[in-house]
Structure 1
């Protein structure tokens, strides 16, 4: 890796982060300058976004990803997809760097999450996880040293492999004492992608450990519902318009909240392997039997997402929740945000401030991609990328596997 003397001469690094989430709606690309050290008060950790965009998947590759989600693809298909998606990740970075007038030879590192196609959970324990998008292909096409396969190192030491975004929250987003006037008030950082996850952060004057876990479905059920309600014309409920037109069926929300996942204690993670299209179809049939229209079904699964998040807070929050910070695609759905505020007030017994991630100075859409840029930076520094209190790992662990690029030999010597 590098020693501290060399490290001081190398800061800042220009690092790209790449991720395609559970919804597989595109590749998020963030390029950031990162400086400092997570445990050195003389060089505090800092991050400045230089460029960001989401590059849509080409239609054939997106169809391939959903074929892989089904678990029915053969080994040859998975093998070929690994290289094919790696090329797409590299091309997305090249496109965003060019648009931002950032020459590739200025980049020091790339951190690529890749595309999760399987996250295997047995009796609440993650036994294996697979993200594809070959990092050697990314490094070869860009010339930039690429760090990838982050989740497997956490799983190897007993963790859930998620939510890895908790390292970003823990290092950069802890709240001040008496947040919003609440003694001992905690900040909940909620991501709503295909799957929802939360990190509960204690105030800076507390010795308490953070807590993070997947709350359950984020956009995944809403996306399927919108697709059905629009006869295939929509891949998601843009601006929550369909949910706003529909009627919530409270009895169905209450029944679906009985799903065993919601009652499991953290640490816990989930994905499309549990909240499947088959489950969505079964719940759709229940909604139709209850007299719900297609837009009613969209409204009801939107309410379920909000209720599952608020219920998780009521069950598992380690301290008083003084603020909720929302990122991810779901943060752009005003109907979902309205339902979330309602459910938080109902289940916690008082109104809670809900704000976008941008209010803390970080682009909400770029958050997850920035996390993988940060993880690549920590890997290069030889610092742990997991938070054991959040993932359930037995100990802190450096995350990531390095695919050297043309810049590898000079990465820490300039």
Structure 2
């Protein structure tokens, strides 16, 4: 048994999620009890710095170098915050599992490049600030054995959600959408996972551009708007949507540049709320197109991540999958907001015990490997 804190800062840049858990066992005997969850908001200045290093036009090596250390302090504060909220002594935490902030993910390299990924948030700072062992940088080892380094959560989903009688599809809607398909009675090698396309990323960027709002709270803008079919058709024609799995995507495909180009092209023909409604439908439809073939009447689609709190998006997904069971995490007894932070603790627990936690059938890796790097305090 161990106490751990998982921390996750995703592509949506809406905060650092921290989950304090009690974890037992390893491999398929792993069980996790969520003790407390907290989100540490990312300040305006930090978000600005992250966005600068995400963009090829504004990034620089000195900015990345400095931000790596600064995020280490931010992540440390998230660990302290969740322990304080739980009234749990920091010194009793056995390890911290830090995903880090992805600033570039390159699974399909261009000319003169290598498949690679980069998450920052210096683990040495977290270890020193918390006086706790830190497991970090989970994606790179999978890529070292020809995997795409993503999706990262299928192992934890297999361990925590598999069912003997029903196929379960775990659809996360963060900045990017990703799905894990766990057939009824599955073994690890039966699990499939891949990124379905955009999650909240385009919606969030539109809200920031149009209304200076971080996201579409409760889908209020999408609810007012109407879907523009011509714009939707252009978005659905994006080559990623129909690309065969294994596949992974990110801001490189659906970030600021993509959204800005859409706004520039369509700003005179599509009003703001219609734009947001169409982007919301794009997320719903891209999910449905990618998962429909895996679903039958013995399947459950379980939606998690920030998008699960957008009722308009959830309803659009349901409409795309008539007659199928569509649920959100809370309806099966799990927390949507804590899901990915909890997943980090499961991966780190495997690492601590010298056990693999990638899923080659999901990432395309040639073999199972132990993920992550360990930073010890002593």
- Fold-level similarity (TM above 0.5): yes
Distance between the aligned counterparts of 2:331 and 2:296, measured in 1? Answer: 22
Task: Specify the alignment match of 2:274 in structure 1.
Answer: 296
Distance between the aligned counterparts of 1:404 and 1:207, measured in 2? Answer: 30
Task: Specify the alignment match of 1:103 in structure 2.
Answer: 89
CA contact (8 A) 2:4 2:97 kept: yes
SS of alignment partner, residue 273 of structure 1: helix
Give the one of 365, 383, 387 matched to 2:355: 383
Task: Specify the alignment match of 1:209 in structure 2.
Answer: 190
Distance between the aligned counterparts of 1:57 and 1:35, measured in 2? Answer: 31
CA contact (8 A) 2:295 2:324 kept: no
Query: Over the residues paired in the alignment, what is the CA RMSD in angstroms?
Result: 1.8
Q: Number of aligned pairs?
A: 375
Cα gap change, 1:319 to 1:155, in 2 (>3 Å): farther
Summarize deviations over 1:12-65 as a string: whole Å, max 9, x none.
1101101100011100000111101215xxxx3211011111100122111111
Cα gap change, 1:13 to 1:282, in 2 (>3 Å): same
CA drift at 1:270: 0.5
- Is 1:266 the counterpart of 2:250 in the alignment? no
Task: Specify the alignment match of 2:107 in structure 1.
Answer: 121
1:77-88, aligned counterparts within 5 Å?
A: 77-88=63-74
CA drift at 1:359: 2.5
Distance between the aligned counterparts of 1:67 and 1:285, measured in 2? Answer: 21
Distance between the aligned counterparts of 2:289 and 2:146, measured in 1? Answer: 26
Distance between the aligned counterparts of 1:293 and 1:227, measured in 2? Answer: 15
Distance between the aligned counterparts of 1:80 and 1:277, measured in 2? Answer: 23
CA drift at 1:278: 2.0
CA drift at 1:287: 3.4
CA drift at 1:255: 2.3
CA drift at 1:282: 2.1
Distance between the aligned counterparts of 2:331 and 2:153, measured in 1? Answer: 18
Distance between the aligned counterparts of 1:92 and 1:123, measured in 2? Answer: 33
Give the one of 14, 20, 23 matched to 1:31: 20
- Is 1:160 the counterpart of 2:148 in the alignment? yes
Q: TM-score, normalised by structure 1?
A: 0.87
SS of alignment partner, residue 298 of structure 1: helix
Q: TM-score, normalised by structure 2?
A: 0.95
Task: Specify the alignment match of 1:140 in structure 2.
Answer: 128
Distance between the aligned counterparts of 2:187 and 2:115, measured in 1? Answer: 33
- Is 1:250 the counterpart of 2:240 in the alignment? no
Give the one of 349, 365, 368 matched to 1:396: 368
CA drift at 1:168: 1.0
Q: Could you list the runs of 5+ residues in structure 2 that have no partner in the other structure?
A: none
SS of alignment partner, residue 274 of structure 1: helix
Task: Specify the alignment match of 1:348 in structure 2.
Answer: none
Task: Specify the alignment match of 1:53 in structure 2.
Answer: 38
Task: Specify the alignment match of 1:411 in structure 2.
Answer: none
Distance between the aligned counterparts of 1:328 and 1:135, measured in 2? Answer: 25
CA drift at 1:225: 1.4
Task: Specify the alignment match of 1:226 in structure 2.
Answer: 207
Q: Could you list the runs of 5+ residues in structure 1 that have no partner in the other structure?
A: 1-11, 180-185, 346-350, 407-414
Distance between the aligned counterparts of 2:262 and 2:207, measured in 1? Answer: 14
